[in-house]
Structures are given as C-alpha cells and as structure tokens.
Chain A
Amino acid sequence: DSGVTQTPKHLITATGQRVTLRCSPRSGDLSVYWYQQSLDQGLQFLIQYYNGEERAKGNILERFSAQQFPDLHSELNLSSLELGDSALYFCASSPGIAKNIQYFGAGTRLSVL
C-alpha cells in the first residue's frame, strides 16, 4: 500500500459529461501529481500541485482542471468528456517539489461511452 488513496476506482460516464477524481496523498507529502495512462499515449504527466499552489503543468487539456485543498487532498476535474478521455488516471505524491520518488495511487479507470 503506497499510502495514496484515489477514489473512485472505476467511473463510467457518457460523452459531454463532467467528472471529479479525488486523491489523498501520503501523510506529510506536500506535492500531488496527476498522470494519464492510455494505450496510445502511454503515461503522461498532467499537472503538479505543491502545498496548494500549481507547480508544473504538462499536456493537460483546457477541459481539465485540478486543485489542491488546504488539507492537501487534490481533485482533478474533467469536463465535456470525449471518448478519447477514456484512460487510467493516476495520482502520485511526494514530500518535496522535485527530484523525489513518487508514490502512486491505484488509479481511477475512466470509461467514456
């Protein structure tokens, strides 16, 4: 068990809908990262928050947004969903800003029908 909790484990929704994925980092970790894993794109970094502030941004679509709350949990919001958004979404956490080992949650499997 990595200590990173993601909910829900599975999500099935329709095109055009909006969903929220939730992540609780390991106790004491200040950084939260979101990654998307799909068959065609592999593992792609989306965004990083450190202690409530956005720290780094990857190839995150404008339809996607994230935030980190004062209790350090994070949410990834995906809106106007398309079939191509179907993927595994992982959250990871680490103690510091960079150069750290990252601890991954079990992921949320999103299926857009």
Chain B
Amino acid sequence: SQQGEEDPQALSIQEGENATMNCSYKTSINNLQWYRQNSGRGLVHLILIRSNEREKHSGRLRVTLDTSKKSSSLLITASRAADTASYFCATDGGMANQGGKLIFGQGTELSVKP
C-alpha cells in the first residue's frame, strides 16, 4: 500500500495540554499536508509544508518535516475540546504522481477532555 502510517492511532489528553501526532510516508514528495475531520464530516485543510521546508507554523499548529526519514509531525499547542477530531497527513506522491491525488495516512483520533 502507498499509504503511510500515523502514530498514535488514538490520543486522549486534557484541555490545555499539547498534542503531537506523527506521520510516516513511503514515497518522495513535493509537499505534505495535514487535514482534520470531525466525526463523519468532510476533511478540512490545516497546513501544507513543502519538501524543502523543515518547519511551519499556523496559529496553534506547528508542523515539522524530515524528508530523510520520510516523516512529519503535527503539534497542536494549548488544545481545546473543539480540537477533538481525526487528523490525517496526506502526501502527493512526488514526481511519480502526474495528477493531484493525495495519499492519506490512517489518521490519529484525538480526544481533548474539558
């Protein structure tokens, strides 16, 4: 399978704590994206990091990328109950992918308890 893996599969934390999710992928990439999905709803784009970038910030989100290890991490700081959702990393498959398909990981289910 081309799909990567996310770790952990599930994460439960208290409000105010930080949440870290990791993603590993298998192919070369042009960019890597993180998406969020509330239960049974559509995916919402959070952040995109290009293959020549190592770190990117957006509000309470921090994404790192290590292309030598084919891995990325998403850090959510000062989590809120409203952050409860599933988080997916998605890669574009690099030069081998002539189209725009995204290859998704299995996702991390985050539960933030008030």
Name which residue of chain A comes closest to B35, CB basis: A104
Q: Residue A52 at the B interface, CB < 8 A?
A: no
What residue of chain B has the Cβ atom nearest to residue A99's Cβ? Answer: B30
- Interface SS, A side: strand
Is A109 part of the contact surface with B, judged by Cβ < 8 Å? yes
Tell whether, in the assembled complex, residue A33 and residue B107 are in contact, meaning their CB atoms are under 8 Å apart. no
Cβ of B98 and Cβ of A106 under 8 Å apart? no
| Interface contact A33-B100, CB-CB below 8 Å | yes
Q: Counting CB contacts under 8 A, is B24 at the interface?
A: no
Residue of A nearest to B105 (CB): A42
Q: How far is the CB of A60 from chain B (nearest CB, A)?
A: 11
Query: A56 contacts B101, CB within 8 Å?
Result: yes
CB of B100 within 8 A of CB of A56, answer: yes
In the bound complex, CA of A96 to CA of B100 (Å): 8
Task: Determine if A31 and B42 form an interchain contact, defined as CB atoms under 8 angstroms apart.
Answer: no
By beta carbon, the residue of chain B nearest A88 is B40
B35, B45, B48, B92: which has the most chain A beta carbons within 10 Å?
B45
Q: Check if A25 is an interface residue, CB within 8 A of chain B.
A: no
> Does B10 sit within 8 A of A, measured CB to CB?
no
CB pair A2–B107 under 8 Å, yes or no, is no
Q: A99-B30, A99-B92 are in contact. Are A106 and B41 (CB under 8 A)?
A: yes
* Residues of chain A in range 54-108 having any CB-CB distance to chain B below 8 Å: 55-56, 58, 88, 90, 92, 94, 96-107
Q: Which 3 A-B pairs have the closest CB atoms?
A: A56-B99, A43-B104, A104-B42
5 contacts between A and B (CB under 8 A): A42-B104, A55-B100, A88-B40, A96-B100, A102-B45
